[in-house]
Amino acid sequence: MTETVTAAMIVIGDEILSGRTKDRNIGHLAEMMTAVGIDLKEVRIVADDEDAIVEAVNALRERYTYVFTTGGIGPTHDDITADSVSKALGVPCEHDEKAMALLAEHYARRGMEFTEARQRMARMPRGAEHIDNRISIAPGFHIGNVYVMAGVPAIFQAMLDAVVPTLKTGQKLLSVAITCPYGEGVIGGPLAEIQKAHPDTIIGSYPKYRDGSFWTELVVRSRSQEALDAGRVAVEAMLKDLAHAT
């Protein structure tokens, strides 16, 4: 039986919680994880607060195969993700020699001073490995099962592209969508019975509204084609029974 591979995400930043910045990374990570057969099980949004970050990292890294963080690895005083992850894992946070050289060369090439603030982007937990950043050079890093990446969506996506090929992946979820003309109040009872009878499936119900009318999209998911087909047939039979009864 194929191992289930799981993941969690920690979105870090006061600007997310205040609404000043709208997160665009959760959906992208979810799509990428689904595409490679990794189940994204939990997302937390935490402030730029060391204790909150440490608690989230330690809780999630024990529970899931992978933990991805976004945000808080820039050059300013409130970019404390590297410090917090180091504290969570019990290792020093220090200027990484390879990152320092990479950034020094980058700024020299652009004729810009490699300031103390910019040097902060080279800090990471001792023993961490780089995550390449083809857009703005400053690397992310991973240590253990924790992957620390930028919050800027374009940079996050580039870093994730570098990370995904290195991950252990699982069996992908298969899915089929079924259009249902009835509201959830009508189908709720029989749909629950179908779910009980087909435990190897995940059946989702998603209310929709279009052109002045309500309808429901039903999605059956499973890692087994046989189980998926059986669940789909059961849902379609339920809809036929309801049509005959009305």
- 105-116 pLDDT tens trace: 999 999 999 999
Q: Using one digit for the tens of pLDDT, what is the confidence trace for 60-86?
A: 999 999 999 999 999 999 999 999 999
* Range with the poorest average pLDDT among 48-57, 148-157, 221-230: 221-230
Q: Two tokens at 158?
A: 């580039």
What is the Cα–Cα distance from 230 to 238, expressed in whole angstroms? 12
Residue 208: band (very low, low, confident or very high) from pLDDT cuts 50, 70, 90: confident
Q: Is 24 helix (H, G, I), strand (E, B) or coil?
A: coil
pLDDT, mean of residues 104-131 = 96
What is the Cα–Cα distance from 217 to 207, expressed in whole angstroms? 6
Phi/psi for 152 (5° steps) reads -60, 120
What is the Cα–Cα distance from 24 to 32, expressed in whole angstroms? 13
Q: What integer pLDDT is reported at residue 172 of this predicted model?
A: 83
Within 8 A by CB and 6+ apart from 139, the residues are 99, 102, 124, 130, 131, 132, 133
Residue 245: band (very low, low, confident or very high) from pLDDT cuts 50, 70, 90: confident
Q: What integer pLDDT is reported at residue 2 of this predicted model?
A: 63
Average model confidence (pLDDT) across the chain: 93
Beta-bridge mates of residue 217: 179, 206
Q: Two tokens at 144?
A: 């253990």
Residue 223: band (very low, low, confident or very high) from pLDDT cuts 50, 70, 90: confident
37 and 172 in contact (C-beta within 8 Å)? yes
Q: Two tokens at 57?
A: 């990292």
Q: How many CB atoms lie within 10 A of CB 14?
A: 15
Residue 214: band (very low, low, confident or very high) from pLDDT cuts 50, 70, 90: confident
Q: What integer pLDDT is reported at residue 183 of this predicted model?
A: 85
Q: Two tokens at 130?
A: 């780089």
Pinpoint the residues of the chain covered by CATH 3.30.70.600.
174-245
Phi/psi for 193 (5° steps) reads -65, -40
Quick one: what percent of the chain has pLDDT higher than 70? 99
* Range with the poorest average pLDDT among 5-9, 90-94, 135-139: 135-139
pTM comes to 0.84
More confident residue, 182 or 129: 129
Q: What integer pLDDT is reported at residue 171 of this predicted model?
A: 82
Pinpoint the residues of the chain covered by CATH 3.40.980.10.
5-166
What is the Cα–Cα distance from 148 to 165, expressed in whole angstroms? 16
CATH number of 5-166: 3.40.980.10
Task: Say which CATH topology domain 174-245 has.
Answer: Alpha-Beta Plaits (3.30.70)
Closest CA relative to residue 195, chosen from 223, 221, 170: 221
Q: What integer pLDDT is reported at residue 185 of this predicted model?
A: 87
What is the Cα–Cα distance from 234 to 206, expressed in whole angstroms? 18
